[in-house]
Structure 1
Amino acid sequence: MTHDHDLVLRPTPQQTAAALDPPAGRNGGDLVIETLTGLGADTVFGLPGQHALGMFDALRRSGLTYIGLRVENNAGFAADAYGRITGQATPLLLSTGPGALTSLAALQEAAAASAPVLAISSQIPSAGLGGGRHGFLHELRDQKASFRDIVKSVHTVRAASQIPSAIAAAWESALTAPHGPVWVEIPQDVLLAETTLPVVTAMDATPHDLVPRPELTAVAAHLLQNAERPAIIAGGGVVRADASGKLRALAEKLDAPVVTTFGGKGAFPWEHPLSMQSWLEDRHTTDLLEDADVLLVVGSGLGELSSNYHTFAPRGRVVQIEADLGKLESNHACLGIHADARIALAALLETVEGASPVSEGPRGSGGPSGAERVATLLAKVRERIAGQELTLEQEVLAAVREALPDDSPSFWDMTILAYWAWSAFDARHPNTMHSAQGAGGLGYGFPAAIGAAAADRTKPVLAVSGDGGAMYSIAELATARQYNLPVTWLIVDDGGYGILREYMTDAFGEATATELSRPDFVALAESFGVPAVRTTTESLREDLTKALAQPGPSVVVLPALLRMFAPTHL
Structure 2
Amino acid sequence: MTHDHDLVLRPTEAQTAAALAPPPGRTGGDLVVETLRSLGATTVFGLPGQHALAVFDAVGRSDLRLVALRTENNAGFAADAYGRLTGEAVPLLLSTGPGALMALPALAEAAAASAPVLAISSQVPSPGLGGGRRGHLHELRDQSASFRDVVKSVHTARTPSQIPSVIAEAWESALTTPHGPVWVEIPEDVLRAETLVPQVTGVDATPHELVPRPELTAVAAHWLSNASRPVIIAGGGVIRADAAGKLKQLAERLDAPVVTTFGGKGAFPWTHPLSLQSWLEDRHMTDFLEDADVLLIVGSGLGELSSNYHTFFPEGRVIQIEADLGKLESNHAGLGIHADARLALQALLETVSEREDPSAPARVRMVLDEIGARLAEQDVALEQELLASIRSALPPRSPSFWDMTILSYWAWSAFDAKHPNTMHSAQGAGGLGYAFPAALGACVAEPGTPVLAVSGDGGAMYSIAELATAKQHGLDVTWLIVDDGGYGILREYGCATGTDLTGPDFVALAASFGVPAATTSAATLREDLTTALTSPGPSVLVLPTTLKMFAPTHL
| Same-fold status (TM-score > 0.5) | yes
Matched, 1:412 2:398: no
Q: In the TM superposition, what whole-angstrom CA distance separates every residue of 1:384-420 from its partner, at most 9, and x where no partner exists?
A: 1111111111111111111100000000000000000
The alignment status of 1:535 with 2:520, answered yes or no, reads: yes
1:388 maps to which of 378, 382, 395: 378
1:123-162 maps to which residues of 2 (within 5 A)? Answer: 123-162=123-162
Deviation at 1:31, TM superposition (A): 0.3
2:307 maps to amino acid: S
Calculate the TM-score normalised by the size of structure 1: 0.96
Match of 1:508 in 2: none
SS class of match (2:351): helix
Would the aligned equivalents of 1:45 and 1:79 in 2 still touch at CA under 8 Å?
yes
Does the Cα contact within 8 Å between 2:51 and 2:96 map onto a contact in 1?
yes
Map 1:465-480 → 2, pairs under 5 A? 465-480=455-470
Measured in 1, the distance between the counterparts of 2:442 and 2:427 equals 17
C-alpha contact 2:257 2:274 (8 A) present in aligned 1:
yes
Tell me the residue number matched to 1:278.
278
Between the aligned partners of 2:184 and 2:457, the Cα distance in structure 1 is 35
Mapped partners of 2:30, 2:290: distance in 1: 56
- Equivalent AA in structure 1 for residue 391 of structure 2: R
Matched with 2:543 is 558
SS at match of 1:319: strand
Deviations 1:537-562 (A, max 9, x none): 10011011100000000000000100
Measured in 1, the distance between the counterparts of 2:4 and 2:278 equals 51
Q: Is the 8 A contact 2:15 2:201 kept in 1?
A: no
Shift of 1:17: 2.4
Aligned to 2:189: 189
**1:491 counterpart (474, 481, 485):** 481
Are the equivalent residues in 2 in contact too, given 1:132–1:140 (CA < 8 A)? no
In 1, Cα distance between equivalents of 2:112 and 2:225: 32
CA contact (8 A) 1:504 1:512 kept: no
Paired residues for 1:280-299 under 5 Å: 280-299=280-299
| CA offset digits 1:448-496 (Å, max 9, x no partner) | 0000000011210000000000000000000000000000000000000
Separation of aligned partners in 2, 1:210 and 1:234: 18
What secondary structure, in the 3-state scheme, does the structure 1 residue paired with 2:454 have? strand
CA distance in 2, matches of 1:502, 1:403: 28
Matched, 1:523 2:513: no
Report the AA paired with residue 464 of structure 1.
V
Instruction: Tell me if the contact between 1:241 and 1:342 (Cα under 8 Å) persists in the aligned partners.
Output: yes
Match of 2:47 in 1: 47
Deviation sequence 1:78-136 (CA, Å, 0-9, x none):
00000000000000000000000000000000000000000000000000001241000
Structure 1 segments unaligned to the other structure (5+ residues):
506-510
Equivalent-residue separation in structure 2 for 1:73 and 1:55 (angstroms): 19
Q: How many residue pairs align between the two structures? A: 555
Give the match for residue 365 of structure 2. Answer: 375
Q: Give, in angstroms, the shift of residue 370 of structure 1.
A: 1.4
- For 2:523 and 2:59, locate their aligned partners in 1 and report how far apart those are by CA, in whole Å: 47
**Do the aligned partners of 1:228 and 1:362 also contact (CA within 8 Å) in 2?**
no
> 1:202 Cα shift?
3.3
Partner of 1:6: 6
1:88 touches 1:116 (CA, 8 Å); kept in 2? yes
Corresponding position of 1:453: 443
Distance in structure 2 (CA, Å) of the matches to 1:89 and 1:202: 18
C-alpha distance after superposition, 1:334-370 (max 9, x if no partner): 1000000000000101111xx4x7xxx563xxxx621
In structure 2, C-alpha distance between the alignment counterparts of 1:17 and 1:437, rounded to whole Å: 50
Answer whether contact 1:227 1:362 (CA < 8 A) is retained.
no
Following TM superposition, by how much is the alpha carbon of 1:2 offset from its aligned partner in structure 2, in angstroms? 1.6
Does structure 1 residue 67 correspond to structure 2 residue 64?
Answer: no
Contact 1:29–1:56 at 8 Å: present in 2 too?
yes
Matched, 1:267 2:267: yes
Tell me the distance in 2 between the aligned counterparts of 1:168 and 1:2. 27
Bigger Cα displacement from structure 2, 399-408 vs 9-18: 9-18
3-state SS of 2:295 partner: strand
Residue aligned with 1:276, SS: coil
The correspondence of residues 331-346 of structure 1 with structure 2, limited to 5 A, is 331-346=331-346
Output the CA distance in 1 between the equivalents of 2:272 and 2:14.
Answer: 56
Instruction: Give me the whole-angstrom Cα distance separating, in 1, the residues matched to 2:419 and 2:265.
Output: 9
- Residue type at the aligned position of 1:569: H
Amino acid at match of 2:453: A
Q: Distance in 2 between matches of 1:4 and 1:76?
A: 40
Q: Give CA deviations for 1:35-84 in whole Å, capped at 9, x if unaligned.
A: 00000011000010000000000011111111000000000000000000
Aligned 8 A contact 1:174 1:180 in 2? yes
Aligned equivalent of 1:122: 122
Match of 1:21? Answer: 21
Q: Distance in 2 between matches of 1:243 and 1:424?
A: 22
Q: Which amino acid aligns with 1:251?
A: A
Among 418, 433, 458, which residue is 2:423 paired with? 433
Is the contact between residue 151 and residue 180 of structure 1 (CA under 8 Å) also seen in structure 2? yes
Moved over 6 A (4+): none
Q: 3-state DSSP class of the match of 2:347?
A: helix
Matched, 1:544 2:529: yes
> What is the match of residue 501 of structure 1?
491
- The equivalent of 1:323 in structure 2 is 323
Question: Within 1, Cα distance between the matches of 2:18 and 2:279?
Answer: 60
Check whether the contact 2:322–2:337 (CA below 8 A) recurs between aligned residues.
yes
The one-letter code of the counterpart of 1:392 is: L
The 2-side partners of 1:93 and 1:83 are apart by 15
RMSD: 0.9
Q: How does 1:205-220 map to 2 (within 5 A)?
A: 205-220=205-220
State whether residues 462 and 487 of structure 1, in contact with CA within 8 Å, keep that contact through their aligned partners in structure 2.
Answer: yes
The residue type paired with residue 459 of structure 2 is G
TM-score (norm 2): 0.99
Aligned to 1:504, the other structure's residue is in SS state coil
